[in-house]
Amino acid sequence: MVQKYQSPVRVYKHPFELIMAAYERRFPTCPLIPMFVASDIVNEFKSEDAAIHIVERRCKLDVDAPRLLKKIAGVDYVYFIQKNSLNRRERTLHIDAHNETFSNRVVINEHCFYSVHPDNEDWTCFEQSASLDIKSFFGFESTVEKIAMKQYTSNIKKGKEIIEYYLKQMEEEGITYLPRWMPSITHSSEINTSSSGRPVSPALNIPVTASKDSMNCMDVVNSSGSPTEAMTGTPDDKLDADYIKRYLGDLTPLQESCLIRLRQWLQETHKGKIPKDEHILRFLRARDFNIDKAREILCQSLTWRKQHQVDYLLETWNPPQVLQDYYAGGWHHHDKDGRPLYVLRLGQMDTKGLVRALGEESLLRHVLSINEEGLRRCEENTKVFGRPISSWTCLVDLEGLNMRHLWRPGVKALLRIIEVVEANYPETLGRLLILRAPRVFPVLWTLVSPFIDDNTRKKFLIYAGNDYQGPGGLVDYIDKEIIPDFLGGECLCDVPEGGLVPKSLYRTPEELENDDIKLWTETIYQSASIFKGSPHEILIQIVEASSVITWDFDVCKGDIVFNIFHSKRAPQPPKKDTLATHSITSLGGNNVQLIDKAWQLGRDYSMVESPLICKEGESVQGSHVTRWPGFYILQWKFHSMPACATTSLPRVDDVLASLQVSSHKCKVMYYTEVIGSEDFRGSMTSLESSHSGFSQLSAATTSSSQSHSSSMVSRSTH
């Protein structure tokens, strides 16, 4: 398995020329990196005007590995080839390194890049990416990988320290400024400005004496052919190391890399419409920074949020009066760590009465609104306290808990709520304080605990009776001044006291079922299943030409082809029986076919847009300006892998892709709308769907659209 690393942008608040001078002091050896024994220049090139300086070195490393492993491998030292390409005109340095030793068994690549800060020409940015691929190593592949990653991460941490060490050394020598490069007077043909259009300073020849900041040769880069391209892009697309520390916390280099790589994947597939960094980080933490697992649950959660419009919950959810009167929970200041504090008087709450009066879905919606408010408060507290706060503390008072709370439908509702919250709000609970647990609590705990994640369970602190009042109790986690009055504190807690819900407010199961259906079908999206040979089709009748058909759909499973057809006559409506070939109903959504098999393309109907192939996880938004009235059919069709044109054998990529599809079934979630010609003002950008996005979780929303003669398509991926 290939191990990859991508660093955040690290900023030195010093000019590029000073950083280069400090960097060169690392060669031929660096006392701050004991494993870096020596380096020899094997090739060197300088342009006549001294703007370009390319140096290739052979570096000798004494890797900290078990003696037995070195003996088996038959080597004492590991050699790397490092190529430094300095462009003084552009003020950039590209560093590429790869291993020479065991190159047929282990492939290590590293790319580092120094450049001028985009917003301050007197600052310097540093980025680094790497890859490690151990093909075989005498049966010690796992051991070698661990050694490489360990030394790699330790060298990453030293990188900035080393540059700052040599900067300080230069300052002690009186070197605090170095002029920029400028063309020699004899080279009159050269342009006397920098690449940014600003006049350049006098020439500078940095002496090739010695140093090393990117010689983290056990770090490892981007295995995609062009590491330079991997480093380019707008500054806003990249994370700054100082920003990570301030707003996200202290992460290890590998954790930073996981965050950046998952964030990059989301940027590439969502075209900039991605969740906030702290939200991405929660899902990574929930899966121990396994990128593939974190990406899977994050995409599922984003689809869930979009389908049920959870992003707008705080704006749209208005708790029924029953909840306002009898739901004994509310926010109450913060704990000693600055986390928002939520107080729940579960023992005083009539869970049976609330379920009978409101239904399971209303309770779930209310709990989701609490979690959404918790996310908002975490952001707010991060700004107030000047340190990253990504979770909240929950204080649960069980005084009054009895067998009534073990009512089966109530427990079922609780388990459902726990399941939804665990799936969509991971790592948001920083600590759970359970107070005054009665004898019946172990019964409830036995029922609930299997549904709670192991990491979450470790955050539970349970106190029986009045134990919470002594040492190790509440005062260790909450300031004495804000301990609620009902727990013996002096602070008035504005949380409803709960109590029994009057039976006059109870509703019949039929009424609750109807409300539940209405609550969770209040979504503009519909679901459909697509089978091999059975596309899903919807009909849109257009009365007036120049109307605009808009769509927004997510490919939840499999790969599909999206088509738009036009017909002057209406297709026959599908049959209602589920056994008919034209209409299939499944748990995953409907499947309706409208185009009669006797119809011929070009005679009975025509294609008005080029087919659009959409991969699993993609989200597609677009529009089509109709040229004629009539009947338009939007079709989602199963995408089969095409056979290779030059050979009868399938391509390796096609085989691997086909193995990922477990069955000939795809799922889509879609929304369509027609804008009348009288409402259309001719601005294609105004047609983008306003319903697709992550309004609460997105740090920024931008669009990437591909405009054709009559349509616009914007693609992104979950």
**How many CA atoms lie less than 13 Å away from 88 in the CB half-sphere?**
27
**Residue 503, H or E segment:** none
Domain boundary among 138, 154, 173: 173
Residues 267, 126 share a domain:
no
Residues 631, 551 share a domain:
yes
pLDDT, residue 409, reads 82
Mean pLDDT of 72-76: 78
Residues 669, 606 share a domain:
yes
pLDDT digits (tens, 9 = 90+) for 424-448: 999 999 999 999 988 888 888 888 8
Residues 61, 125 share a domain:
yes
Residues 527, 391 share a domain:
no
Report the alpha-carbon distance of residue 583 to residue 581 in Å, rounded: 6
Whether 655 maps to a domain, the answer reads no
Closest CA to 667 of 584, 568, 596, 606: 584
**How many CA atoms lie less than 13 Å away from 716 in the CB half-sphere?**
28
Closest CA to 481 of 582, 605, 331, 334: 334
Closest CA to 435 of 473, 388, 390, 490: 473
Report the alpha-carbon distance of residue 208 to residue 45 in Å, rounded: 12
Report the alpha-carbon distance of residue 253 to residue 645 in Å, rounded: 45
DSSP state of 185: T
Task: Tell me the average pLDDT of the chain.
Answer: 79
pLDDT, residue 469, reads 85
Residue 347 has pLDDT above 70, yes or no: yes
Report the alpha-carbon distance of residue 8 to residue 284 in Å, rounded: 16
Whether 234 maps to a domain, the answer reads no
Whether 590 maps to a domain, the answer reads no
Average the pLDDT over each of 232-246, 297-311, 374-388, 500-514 and give the range with the smallest value. 232-246
Report the alpha-carbon distance of residue 478 to residue 334 in Å, rounded: 8
Mean pLDDT of 656-666: 55
Residue 98 and residue 222 in contact, taking contact as beta carbons nearer than 8 Å: no
Mean pLDDT of 664-686: 67
Q: What share of the chain is helix, strand, coil (3-state, %, to 5)?
A: 35, 30, 40
Report the alpha-carbon distance of residue 371 to residue 248 in Å, rounded: 19
Residue 426 and residue 282 in contact, taking contact as beta carbons nearer than 8 Å: yes
Cα distances (angstroms) measured from residue 654 to each of 111, 579, 618: 31, 33, 18
- The 3-state DSSP class for residue 142 equals helix
Residue 95 and residue 88 in contact, taking contact as beta carbons nearer than 8 Å: no
pLDDT, residue 220, reads 30
pLDDT, residue 322, reads 93
Whether 83 maps to a domain, the answer reads yes
Q: Indicate the residue type of 80.
A: F
Dihedral angle sign, alpha carbons of residues 524, 277, 414, 350: negative
Report the alpha-carbon distance of residue 5 to residue 131 in Å, rounded: 6
Closest CA to 101 of 74, 128, 83: 74
pLDDT digits (tens, 9 = 90+) for 564-585: 999 999 888 765 434 333 444 4
pLDDT digits (tens, 9 = 90+) for 414-427: 888 988 999 999 99
Task: Determine the structural domain holding residue 332 and report its residue range.
Answer: 311-504
> What CATH code is carried by the domain that includes residue 99?
3.30.530.20
- The 3-state DSSP class for residue 137 equals coil
Token duo for residue 487: 């727990």
Residue 208 has pLDDT above 70, yes or no: no
pLDDT, residue 637, reads 93
Closest CA to 82 of 216, 172, 249: 216
User: What global pTM score does this model have?
Assistant: 0.70
The total of structural domains in the chain comes to 4
Report the alpha-carbon distance of residue 628 to residue 622 in Å, rounded: 19
Residues 84, 55 share a domain:
yes
Helix axes 360-385, 277-286, angle to 10 degrees: 110
pLDDT digits (tens, 9 = 90+) for 590-640: 889 999 888 999 999 999 999 999 888 777 878 888 999 999 999 999 987
Closest CA to 130 of 162, 103, 98: 98
Domain boundary among 260, 290, 308: 308
Residue 38 has pLDDT above 60, yes or no: yes
Residue 556 has pLDDT above 90, yes or no: no
Token duo for residue 617: 């996880």
Report the alpha-carbon distance of residue 273 to residue 306 in Å, rounded: 13
Whether 407 maps to a domain, the answer reads yes
Residue 321 has pLDDT above 80, yes or no: yes
Report the alpha-carbon distance of residue 564 to residue 601 in Å, rounded: 12
Residue 138 has pLDDT above 90, yes or no: no
pLDDT, residue 705, reads 34
Residues near 200 by beta carbon (within 8 Å), at least 6 away in sequence? 89, 180, 181, 182, 183, 192, 193, 194
pLDDT band of 413, cuts 50, 70, 90 = confident
pLDDT band of 367, cuts 50, 70, 90 = very high
Whether 15 maps to a domain, the answer reads yes
Average the pLDDT over each of 148-157, 381-390, 610-619, 631-640 and give the range with the smallest value. 148-157
Dihedral angle sign, alpha carbons of residues 648, 651, 656, 662: negative
Closest CA to 428 of 442, 418, 436: 418
pLDDT digits (tens, 9 = 90+) for 217-262: 333 333 333 322 333 333 456 788 889 999 999 998 889 999 999 9
Residues 315, 456 share a domain:
yes
Mean pLDDT of 535-556: 88
Residues 552, 443 share a domain:
no
Residues 315, 304 share a domain:
no
Token duo for residue 77: 């030292």
Residue 326 has pLDDT above 90, yes or no: yes
Closest CA to 74 of 147, 138, 146: 138
Residue with tokens 């280069």: 20
Cis peptide before 28 (omega within 30 of 0): yes
pLDDT, residue 231, reads 31
pLDDT, residue 715, reads 53
Q: Indicate the residue type of 285.
A: R
Cα distances (angstroms) measured from residue 462 to each of 329, 434, 466, 468: 19, 5, 11, 9
pLDDT, residue 551, reads 86
Candidate ranges 117-126, 225-234, 553-562, 658-667; pick with highest mean pLDDT? 117-126
Residues 274, 382 share a domain:
no
Average the pLDDT over each of 172-176, 183-187, 261-265, 568-572 and give the range with the smallest value. 183-187
Answer with the residue of higher pLDDT: 393 or 703.
Answer: 393
Residues 47, 84 share a domain:
yes
pLDDT, residue 50, reads 92
The 10 Å Cβ neighbour count of residue 221 is 26
Residues 365, 498 share a domain:
yes
Whether 698 maps to a domain, the answer reads no
Domain boundary among 125, 142, 173: 173
> What CATH code is carried by the domain that includes residue 538?
2.60.120.680
Beta bridge partners, 275, equal 698
Whether 107 maps to a domain, the answer reads yes
Report the alpha-carbon distance of residue 658 to residue 588 in Å, rounded: 21
- The 3-state DSSP class for residue 148 equals helix
What is the percent of the chain where pLDDT is above 90? 42
Closest CA to 455 of 426, 490, 494, 413: 426
> What CATH code is carried by the domain that includes residue 299?
1.10.8.20
